[in-house]
Amino acid sequence: GNSVTQMEGPVTLSEEAFLTINCTYTATGYPSLFWYVQYPGEGLQLLLKATKADDKGSNKGFEATYRKETTSFHLEKGSVQVSDSAVYFCALSVYPSGSARQLTFGSGTQLTVLP
């Protein structure tokens, strides 16, 4: 089956520090990969995505590269801000498959950025 494994949290960083949140996956078929962000008290928002190997998704200074050889999609940001404090979820969707319309989520990583 499909699964996503995320780096255990919580992660606490100082403002302007470099961020990496690791994500690895197992999947049947050809997955698309996503990072979602959840701010306190809100629903999940799509942060970035990559739909094929070697694609780089980017948004708001965050980046992640789809690495098929290592089955990874690590999230990075060069200089985090207090406003980046949130929970980050890695997710995948596989097409074609019986669950083509479903996203499989990792367990989430809580990020806290201190001023």
Partner 1 sequence: NAGVTQTPKFQVLKTGQSMTLQCAQDMNHNSMYWYRQDPGMGLRLIYYSASEGTTDKGEVPNGYNVSRLNKREFSLRLESAAPSQTSVYFCASSGQGGVTNYGYTFGSGTRLTVV
Residue ranges binding partner 1 (CB under 8 A): 4, 32, 34, 36, 41-46, 49, 51, 89, 91, 93-95, 100-103, 105-108
What number of other Cβ atoms are within 10 A of residue 50's Cβ?
A: 21
Q: Nearest approach, Cβ of 81 to partner 1 (angstroms)?
A: 23
Judged by beta carbon, residue 40 or residue 115, the one nearer partner 1 is: 40
Cβ-based burial of 62 (10 A; exposed 0-12, middle 13-18, buried ≥19): buried
Judged by beta carbon, residue 8 or residue 16, the one nearer partner 1 is: 8
Alpha-helix runs per DSSP H in the chain: none
The residues pairing with 18 across neighbouring beta strands, listed in sequence order, are: none
Q: Nearest approach, Cβ of 14 to partner 1 (angstroms)?
A: 25
Q: Nearest approach, Cβ of 16 to partner 1 (angstroms)?
A: 29
Judged by beta carbon, residue 13 or residue 105, the one nearer partner 1 is: 105
Pairing of strands 104-105, 23-26: unpaired
